[in-house]
Amino acid sequence: MLQPVFPLILIRSQEGLQVIPTEADLCKATPFGKIRNTDQELVFDKEGNKWTYRLTSPQSKKSLAKKILDYILYNPVIEIKPEWTQRDTYQMQELKELMHQCITRHTGTIPIAARNAIKMGIAKASSFTDLYQSVNQLAF
């Protein structure tokens, strides 16, 4: 089974940007927390490949009544597994442009000065590692 080489940079609908250091960072979630639709997400690995993925869980085989009870009584941590699909390869410039767009469109809690510093880091980056490090400290 093919899977990306970690760390990864995830871009969500060209508006969200996230770094994923290891696959373990995708393998546990709470039903109300991190399980989400991944249709609008594109993942870039350090080997120059683009990926999409789908999150699956053995919990999804439980009956509806059992799921509802689990979710009402407590918010359990469940094991999830990403199923990867390689889509294409990318050039560094494409990833830099998408990351720049995400930073520009982000109007959340990151101060303008910090966004500008990140944009500058992206512009100066000459490798995937440089890009990853330029946003590794932030959560979008």
User: What pLDDT does residue 67 have?
Assistant: 65
Tokens 């494409």 identify what position?
94
For 78-109, the pLDDT digits (tens) are 778 888 999 999 999 999 999 999 888 876 77
Tokens 């294409």 identify what position?
88
User: What pLDDT does residue 52 have?
Assistant: 92
Q: What is the pTM of this model?
A: 0.80
**41-45 and 16-20 strand pairing:** unpaired
Q: How far apart are CA 133 and CA 40, in angstroms?
A: 24
User: What pLDDT does residue 140 have?
Assistant: 45
- Is-contact 42 10, C-beta < 8 A? yes
- Residue 104: which of 123, 82, 85 has the closest Cα? 123
For 67-76, the pLDDT digits (tens) are 666 666 666 7
Q: How far apart are CA 44 and CA 7, in angstroms?
A: 9
Q: Where are the alpha helices (DSSP H) in the chain?
A: 64-73, 92-105, 112-124, 128-135
Residue 25 has pLDDT above 60, yes or no: yes
For 108-120, the pLDDT digits (tens) are 777 888 888 889 9
Q: Is the pLDDT higher at 139 or at 132?
A: 132
For 29-67, the pLDDT digits (tens) are 666 555 556 667 899 999 999 999 888 776 656 666 766
User: What pLDDT does residue 6 have?
Assistant: 95
**49-56 and 16-20 strand pairing:** unpaired
Q: How far apart are CA 116 and CA 114, in angstroms?
A: 5
User: What pLDDT does residue 12 have?
Assistant: 86
User: What pLDDT does residue 113 have?
Assistant: 84
